[in-house]
Amino acid sequence: MVCEVYENKRGTLELGKVQKMHPRTRHIALKYHHVHEHVKIGSVRINPIDTHEQLADSFTKPLQKQPFQYLCGNLCGW
């Protein structure tokens, strides 16, 4: 079974697929390296998603009425 993770930030996609260590990534906790190992063996797949399709934004960002209704509709399966 493969766990599908959707991410809209290009840096996160790169960090998940290729483990690069440089000054900006040295602070990353051990748990993120654990996730990288699962991506490497194939039990977790990180997929890109357009920012306008990110369902979590309806919970975490103040949105205009139309984008909020669109995301809520997608969440509810309308």
**Taken in order 62, 64, 67, 72, is the CA torsion positive or negative?**
positive
- Show the tokens assigned to 31: 């748990």
Q: What is the DSSP letter of 61?
A: S
Terminal-to-terminal C-alpha distance of the chain: 28
pLDDT tens profile 8-51: 777 777 766 666 666 666 666 666 677 778 888 889 888 888 88
* Domain extent for 34: 3-76
Grade residue 54 by pLDDT with cuts at 50, 70 and 90: confident
**Taken in order 56, 12, 31, 24, is the CA torsion positive or negative?**
negative
pLDDT (0 to 100) of residue 65: 93
Q: Which residues pair with 7 in a beta bridge?
A: 48
Number of domains in the chain: 1
pLDDT (0 to 100) of residue 60: 87
Grade residue 66 by pLDDT with cuts at 50, 70 and 90: very high
